[in-house]
């Protein structure tokens, strides 16, 4: 076994690898960029080496610096994690040339399986069924258009060197193909340095099921069963589970044996995942097609660990050091059911726009362990894999994933219940996340009934987006209670700030004003002689009134009673905004200072600003162009993905304020748009 390894990655996967290495007595070396100088993965490793600037191309993709760091620190092997250099055959070969062990497959296997087109050709020769498509080397756009027309729409354009949904587009009709192809190629160049694409028939109601495989240097191979990764947004996984619901033992064996055959064909060593598209037909019949092989550990590997009781990173280290696989195929068993939810910094209600910012509050559920039945080891009912801490910043340079919540149960229903509880206990303040969206996805009829396919999120959109689970009345009552508690704590023993509102004369009333999802809400609090608090929320027929009662067991939690409701809520205050977490969801409300907001500021119109830090890729318009609401104006790139900026209204482009390639900060004005009426008047 190695004495020391270097982890050529960052974030949660670097922390994950370091945890297993520490348990095994293996020392670890971290590498870090400018943006990650104070990151968690740097702190949890035994040593750390600076390798360059914040952008991946200046640090985590500079393999010559990483190899030099390994040699300088005496590391014997390099674990690449996933992403970055994990599937770079040149890096794997460079490690071998430098006398370092690459904890992964040989360069030849990465080369054979790393490019989607070539791997499909290899699988076709091996007799593995493929989705109809074009996987050729000729990348002439006109030829690609003709191939798409031949295959028949809808088609899927995929970056051949891609992964994680980057460089991938579904094209519904021929007229959209050219622009989708150009966008895919730009994204592919930025993420992988290779703009080669393949074209495939887009399978209707597909499930995404993958098989975890392992090989050692002695020629042994096993599969550790399957994972269902069908729940996706923009071709990126949201929820993953194991085993796949509805999988029969016969089909599991067929897919597992096909995956092992694929690994054996390229003399694979280490952890790999063979991904299949599964077509669902009437009557429950399922047919699988080879999609690709990921020659690395997957983000969703914890669900496989949960149902098998195996540590896949330990397997990687043992195999890479020359040891045989820890178990044979007949020794592997499925235990219960596991689900993983990826917590990302993004706004699901705004087309999953990535978010950046500081984790002012980062509250996670406690990990829960249990004794496995008929086993000597301990299982984990709730597991958190995270690469950040409270106070850390999520930057625009890397992937938007913040953490993974993994749950395990005896049954799928039990795992679902544990997932909702764990997500309800996840409190993040400082940037937008998808935590509440994940809870809603897991609660949809489609997911709870295991009616799975990659179209689940669009199909259930009506109950997933723009939801308000907490409600106005409870939000206002909680905000008033939090304000009174904060004032009482600040006032100390001042009797005129006591919560009972005692005064030497008459009733005392206090007015509040709130902004709740851009809607102004008045509230009136009356301190009654008996110490009770009477609260009225809203105006007119919609007004709700009643006695407000509350107590605070700790700094954030409030046990609240108002208007027939009794709720335990947690509240965190940042400036004028109060973030409220209840058992059934979360919301936020802004308390308006009535003295400071006596008038309304004029609206700022005619501007289009960058919704996040990033780079301007292109403009689709020029000064003087007439545009309509919803028309694409510009494309930005951030967190390795492209985002289209659309016109919020009809108008005329007055000026472009940046050029393609420019880096911009969040809120930067990209262009000026003049209302059509104003433009006509100016011209006259």
**Contacts of residue 380, Cβ cutoff 8 Å, sequence gap at least 6:** 306, 367, 368, 369, 370, 406, 408
Looking at residue 676, its pLDDT comes to 60
- Examine domains 4-103 and 472-591 and report if their fold is the same: no
For residue 597, is pLDDT > 70? Answer: no
Across the range 332-352, mean pLDDT stands at: 96
Higher local confidence (pLDDT), 541 or 114: 541
For residue 600, is pLDDT > 70? Answer: no
Listed range (136-150, 466-480, 635-649) with the worst mean pLDDT:
635-649
Cα separation, 280 vs 282, whole angstroms? 7
Tell me, what DSSP letter sits at residue 105? S
CB 78 within 8 A of CB 92: no
Cα separation, 203 vs 448, whole angstroms? 23
Secondary structure string (H, E, C) spanning 492-554: CCCHHHCCCCCCCCCCEEEEEEEEECCEEEEEEEEECCCCCEEEEECCHHHCEEEEEEEECCC
Listed range (127-141, 148-162, 400-414, 488-502) with the worst mean pLDDT:
488-502
CB 451 within 8 A of CB 553: no
Looking at residue 171, its pLDDT comes to 95
pTM of the model: 0.82
Residue of 10, 227, 296, 383 marked active site: 296
Looking at residue 506, its pLDDT comes to 57
Cα separation, 176 vs 627, whole angstroms? 19
**Percentage of the chain exceeding pLDDT 90:** 70
For residue 494, is pLDDT > 50? Answer: no
**What are the E-state strand segments in 575-650?**
577-582, 585-591, 607-609, 614-619, 626-627, 632-638, 641-646
CATH class assigned to 132-201? alpha beta
Looking at residue 605, its pLDDT comes to 38
638-653 pLDDT, tens per residue?
766 677 888 888 889 9
Among this protein's residues, is 281 annotated catalytic?
no
For residue 302, is pLDDT > 70? Answer: yes
For residue 317, is pLDDT > 80? Answer: yes
What are the residue boundaries of the structural domains of the chain, listed by start? 4-103, 132-201, 206-255+296-463, 472-591, 607-683
**Among candidate residues 479, 512, 485, the one with its CA nearest the CA of residue 593:** 512
> Is 4-103 CATH 3.40.50.20?
yes
CB 73 within 8 A of CB 57: no
For residue 141, is pLDDT > 70? Answer: yes
What 3-state DSSP class applies to 287?
A: strand
CB 32 within 8 A of CB 10: yes
CATH class assigned to 472-591? alpha beta
For residue 124, is pLDDT > 90? Answer: no
Sign of the dihedral through C-alpha 123, 124, 125, 127: positive
For residue 596, is pLDDT > 70? Answer: no
> Is 206-255+296-463 CATH 3.30.465.10?
no
Right CATH for 607-683 from 3.40.50.1470, 3.20.20.70, 2.40.50.100, 3.40.50.2300: 2.40.50.100
Beta bridge partners of 403: 343, 386
pLDDT band at 89 (very low <50, low <70, confident <90, very high): very high
Looking at residue 492, its pLDDT comes to 65
Instruction: Show the tokens assigned to 394.
Output: 């999520």
Looking at residue 505, its pLDDT comes to 53
359-380 pLDDT, tens per residue?
999 999 988 877 666 666 677 8
Across the range 561-586, mean pLDDT stands at: 94
């Amino acid at each position: 076994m190695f004495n020391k390894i270097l982890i050529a990655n960052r974030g949660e996967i670097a922390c994950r690898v370091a945890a297993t290495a520490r348990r095994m007595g293996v020392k670890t070396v971290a590498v870090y960029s400018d943006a990650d100088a104070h990151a968690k993965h740097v702190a949890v490793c035994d040593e750390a080496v600076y390798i360059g600037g914040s952008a991946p191309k200046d640090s985590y993709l500079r393999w010559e610096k990483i190899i030099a760091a390994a040699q300088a620190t005496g590391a014997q092997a390099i674990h690449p994690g996933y992403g970055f250099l994990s599937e770079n055959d040149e890096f794997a070969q460079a490690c071998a040339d430098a006398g370092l062990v690459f904890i992964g497959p040989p360069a030849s296997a990465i080369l054979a399986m790393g490019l989607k087109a070539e791997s499909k050709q290899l699988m076709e020769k091996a007799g593995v069924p493929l989705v109809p498509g074009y996987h050729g080397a000729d990348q002439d756009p006109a030829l690609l258009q003709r191939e798409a027309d031949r295959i028949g729409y809808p088609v899927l354009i995929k970056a051949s060197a891609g992964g994680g949904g980057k460089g991938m587009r579904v094209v519904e009709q021929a007229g959209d193909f050219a622009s989708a192809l150009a966008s895919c190629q730009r994204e592919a160049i930025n993420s992988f340095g290779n703009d080669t694409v393949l074209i495939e028939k887009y399978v209707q109601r597909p499930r995404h099921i993958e098989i975890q495989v392992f090989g050692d240097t002695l020629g042994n191979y096993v599969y550790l069963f399957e994972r269902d990764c069908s729940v996706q947004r923009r071709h990126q996984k949201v929820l993953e589970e194991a085993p796949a619901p509805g999988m029969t033992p016969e089909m599991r064996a067929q897919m597992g044996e096909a995956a092992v055959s694929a690994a054996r064909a390229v003399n694979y060593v280490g952890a790999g995942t063979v991904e299949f598209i599964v077509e669902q037909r009437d009557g429950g019949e399922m047919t699988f097609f080879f999609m690709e092989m990921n020659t690395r550990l997957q983000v969703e590997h914890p669900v496989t660990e949960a149902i098998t009781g195996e540590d896949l990173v330990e397997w990687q280290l043992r195999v890479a050091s020359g040891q045989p696989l820890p178990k044979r195929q007949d020794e592997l068993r499925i235990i219960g059911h596991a689900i993983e939810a990826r917590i990302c910094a993004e706004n699901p209600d705004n087309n999953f726009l990535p978010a950046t910012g500081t984790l002012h509050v980062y509250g996670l559920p406690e990990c829960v362990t249990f004794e496995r039945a008929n086993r000597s080891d301990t299982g984990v009912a709730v597991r958190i894999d995270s690469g950040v801490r409270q106070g850390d910043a999520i930057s625009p340079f890397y992937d938007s994933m913040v953490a993974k919540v993994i749950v395990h149960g005896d049954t799928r229903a039990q795992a679902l219940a544990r997932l909702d509880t764990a997500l309800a206990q996840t409190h993040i303040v400082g940037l937008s996340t998808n935590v509440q969206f994940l809870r809603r996805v897991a609660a949809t009829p489609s997911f709870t009934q295991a009616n799975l396919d990659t179209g689940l999120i669009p199909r259930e959109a009506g109950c997933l987006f723009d939801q308000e689970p907490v409600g106005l009345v409870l939000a206002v009552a909680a905000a008033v209670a939090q304000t009174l508690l904060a004032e009482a704590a600040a006032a100390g023993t001042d009797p005129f700030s006591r919560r009972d509102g005692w005064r030497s004369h008459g009733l005392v009333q206090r007015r509040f004003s709130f902004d709740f999802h851009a809607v102004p809400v008045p509230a009136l609090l009356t301190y009654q002689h008996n110490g009770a608090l009477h609260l009225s929320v809203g105006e007119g027929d919609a007004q709700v009134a009643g006695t407000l009662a509350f107590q605070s067991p700790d700094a954030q939690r409030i046990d609240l009673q108002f208007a027939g409701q009794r709720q335990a809520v947690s509240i965190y205050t940042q400036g004028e905004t109060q973030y409220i977490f209840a058992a059934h969801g979360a919301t936020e409300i802004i308390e308006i200072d009535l003295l400071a907001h006596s008038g309304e500021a004029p609206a700022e119109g005619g501007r289009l600003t960058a919704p996040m830090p990033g780079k301007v890729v292109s403009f689709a318009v020029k000064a003087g162009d007439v545009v309509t609401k919803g028309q694409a104006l510009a494309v930005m790139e951030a967190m390795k993905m492209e985002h289209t900026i659309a016109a919020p209204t009809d108008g005329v482009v007055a000026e472009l304020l940046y050029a393609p390639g420019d880096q911009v900060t969040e809120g930067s004005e990209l262009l000026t748009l003049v209302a059509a009426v104003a433009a006509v008047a100016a011209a006259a």
